[in-house]
Amino acid sequence: MPDFKYVSVAPDGKKIRGKADAISADSLRNQLMAQQLEVKSIRQRRKFTEIEITRRRVPRTEVMHFSRQVAAFVRAGIPLVEALETVREAASNPRMIEILTETEELIQVGVPFSEALARHSDVFPPYYLGILRSAEITGRLDTVLDQLSLYIERDMEARQKIRSALTYPLVIFVMSIVTVVILVSYVLPKFIDFFKGFDAELPTITKVLLDVARFFEDWWWALGLGLLVLILIAVQVNRTDGGQLARDRMILRLPVIGVVAQYTVIERFCRIIAAMMQAGVSLPEAMQAAIDGANNRVYAEAMADVRDGMLEGEGMARPIAATGLFPPAVTQMMRVGEETGTLDHQLESAADYFAKELDYKLARLTSLAEPAVIVIMGVIVGFVAVALVSAMYGIFQGSNTLKG
């Protein structure tokens, strides 16, 4: 059980400093308030080996299983606090265990479920919390949690497909870089020493190659330092709004990759709004959650304008079409949904459609990336081989001429 230090004030105005064990800081606060003490501060005491340099993360799979398990318990008529306790006992992630413990205590003192989870916004995204708030009002907590677990599962499948599609080309690319580094830093310097022993005119291609090798050998530290500086600058720029906007705009303009990024955002956008509308969330609130979950500044800014247009009574399809960022098929399905009152189902159908299109685009990206990387690697290695063989053939011919 965690150990805490606290500072409180007694009814007579006396300041009290003490130590106590408690399940959480909120639990200790409630204990002190029950003793009619005014709590000024509570701080957890940690051993040196327990100090966290970075905050522990909760995998999305944990959130998915949590949603599905709580939904099953609530549907079975088990009280929410008991359901959370059962899920906590089976949980393996330390951070998730802490969150569930704190959530149990907050619910017991009257804090709504969604508000308790909102204290951990790095684990539960805005769309998740927005759907939960609506579920608490409508009394459909089990159904909504099932929908959330299904959405998270689909989102993870899409992310996994992207990672799987890019893994092989990335491995080839890394191996190509390693090969070039070995050639430049180890193999070619040996040939420089070898060719110095012969008084022969080397071919131009060989001279260029040896000059490149000599440059890397003499200035590798400057290149490494320059690369490090560029990475640091890129990281700092990426932390700014303008840098993120420029990055996302550049990604969307790339051939093939841009289409994959576009379809990923559109699929997520349609899926989030469809899930929230089915849970009874108002469309403007669902739109805000989709903006927060877009992970693309270009689309986020455009959808913010769409939300403003919706609040002014323009509907959804017309402002979406005005952005120019969505294919006509999406806007047409939205228009049909608005006219027939089936916008949530239309958006869910659009999400399924773009999920399939995303699979196709990923397969195409993989089929293009693999041969492209192999060709680039072959050109580099072929250039080195031709340069070295040409020089050795010239030296061999020169030595035969001298003998003749």
HSE of 232 in the Cβ direction (CA atoms, 13 Å)?
6
Spatial strand order of the sheet with 15-21 comes to: 15-21, 3-9, 38-45
Does residue 274 sit within a domain?
A: yes
Q: Which of 217, 344, 196 is closest to 273 using CA atoms?
A: 344
At 228-271, the pLDDT tens digits run: 999 999 888 888 888 888 888 998 888 878 888 888 888 888 88
Q: Smallest Cα–Cα separation from 74: which of 142, 150, 143, 135?
A: 142
**In-domain check, residue 160:** no
Q: Is the domain of 180 the same as that of 301?
A: yes
pLDDT of residue 232: 92
- DSSP-derived secondary structure for 353-395: HHHHHHHHHHHHHHHHHHHHHHHHHHHHHHHHHHHHHHHHHHH
| Token representation of residue 388 | 């070295």
Instruction: Give the model's confidence band at 225: pLDDT under 50 very low, under 70 low, under 90 confident, else very high.
Output: very high
Residues 391 and 244 in one domain: yes
Q: Which CATH number belongs to the domain containing residue 15 in this structure?
A: 3.10.20
Verify that 113 and 197 share a domain, yes or no.
no
Looking at residue 34, what is its pLDDT? Answer: 80
Same domain? For 395 and 357 the reply is yes
Q: Is 162 contained in some domain?
A: no
295 shares its domain with 194: yes
Residues 324 and 253 placed together within one structural domain of the fold = yes
Q: Is residue 55 part of a domain?
A: no
Residue 159 lies in a domain: no
Same domain for 96 and 221? no
What confidence score (pLDDT) does residue 399 get? 58
- pLDDT exceeds cutoff 60 at 48: no
In a domain, 123, yes or no: yes
Residue 193 has a pLDDT of 67
What percent of the chain lies above the pLDDT cut of 70? 88
- 255 and 292 inside one domain: yes
Identify residue 132 by its one-letter amino acid code.
Answer: L
Same domain? 195 vs 336: yes
* 251 and 386 fall within a common domain: yes
CATH code of 134's domain: 1.20.81.30
Same domain membership, residue 91 and residue 33: no
H helix intervals, 46-140: 60-75, 80-90, 94-108, 113-117, 126-138
Lowest mean pLDDT among 1-5, 33-37, 105-109, 222-226: 1-5
pTM: 0.66
161 vs 257: CA distance, rounded Å? 14
Plot region of 13 (φ>0 → left; ψ -120 to 50 → alpha; else → beta): left
Number of domains into which the chain is organized? 3
Q: Of 92, 88, 114, 87, which is closest to residue 24 (Cα–Cα)?
A: 88
Structural domain for 34, as ranges: 3-50
Alpha carbons within 13 A on the beta-carbon side of 166: 9
Q: Give the span between the Cα atoms of 273 and 144, in whole angstroms.
A: 13
- Tell me whether residue 275 is in a domain: yes
Average pLDDT score over residue span 330-356: 88
Asked whether residue 84 falls in the same domain as residue 222, the answer is: no
